[in-house]
Amino acid sequence: MSDRLAVLPQYLLPKQALTTLAGKFASARLGGLTTSVIRRFVARYNVNMAEAANPDVASYASFNDFFTRALQPGARPLAMADMICPVDGAISQFGPIDKDQVFQAKGHTYSTTALVGGDAAAAARFDNGHFATLYLSPRDYHRIHMPCAGELTRMVHVPGDLFSVNPTTARGVPGLFARNERVVCFFESAQGPFVLVLVGATIVGSMATVWHGQINPPRTGTLRQWDYAKGQIQLQQGEEMGRFLLGSTVVMLFPKGPLQFNPQWAPARGIQLGEAMAQRVPV
């Protein structure tokens, strides 16, 4: 079966309604039912609870509490690198941006302007730069951390579709990451500007950042933007910046320059928070 045919049912599903329903269930405190669902989830996806700060599944009041669980201190040591991997998951794609086109999968690209919500001037800063797209599966740790120290300048919530973001869908839905709902965070750093995008998906009940809290819902259907004063939000490398309530994808944009990705990286390779992602190579 072709990838396009495989994703056809997603065009027909009531994705918004399913996501709303899943979000309500995930936040509900249902006692034994919640614990039973968590136990089944852990078994189904082989979740490693030994590395969780709280490994007792019966102690989580809601599925969201379990899903956004913290890790034990030291579970993810930070590599000595200019850019570290910000999440646990798997590599979808990474590499150079072709002028303003980001590679999604064979036969599919999308523009940086579309990704960031239509701001062509902001997107132009990343022409011929670099990108990385990282997929978080259901079994993964779902907090997102900073690849390097940075200062937040702007955040944009872009309304959009709620397609799945698994590899099959990435191959079958054109412009997937620039058409799904997303939260776009603009940072300035010693390495230059960068963008970190949290991409929503089917049954992703909400996305949140440490400085704002829950961003969606509400889903107003209109683009929302927040600007931050110089020095207002500063985060260190490895510090938590946000989280998904149910799994999704992170896309990062970096400007043109001599950025060298970890030579061990390859599409579909598993990754962990804190491992070396990239270095700025002196010219």
DSSP 46-75: T--GGGBSS--GGG-SSHHHHHTPPBPTTS
In the block, tokens 């599903």 appear at 13
Q: Does the annotation count 145 as an active-site position?
A: yes
The vertex-272 CA angle with 267 and 277, nearest 5°, equals: 65
- Which residue in 82, 88, 100, 140 is the catalytic one? 88
- Catalytic residue selected from 108, 142, 145, 157: 145
DSSP alpha helices (H): ranges in 82-208?
112-115, 120-124, 167-172, 176-179
Q: Catalytic residue at 88?
A: yes
Q: Can you name the residues that pair with 102 across neighbouring β-strands?
A: 110
8 Å CB contact between 158 and 119: no
Strand partners, 94: 132
Q: Is 20 exposed, middle or buried (0-12, 13-18, 19+ CB in 10 A)?
A: middle
Q: Quickly tell me which residue has 């189904």 as its tokens.
A: 44
Spatial distance between the Cα atoms of 33 and 42, rounded to a whole number of angstroms: 14
On the 0-12 / 13-18 / 19+ scale of CB atoms within 10 A, 78 is middle
Is the distance from CB of 55 to CB of 120 less than 8 angstroms? no
**Alpha-helical runs (H) found in 46-138:** 63-67, 112-115, 120-124
Tell me which residues are annotated as active site. Answer: 88, 145, 248
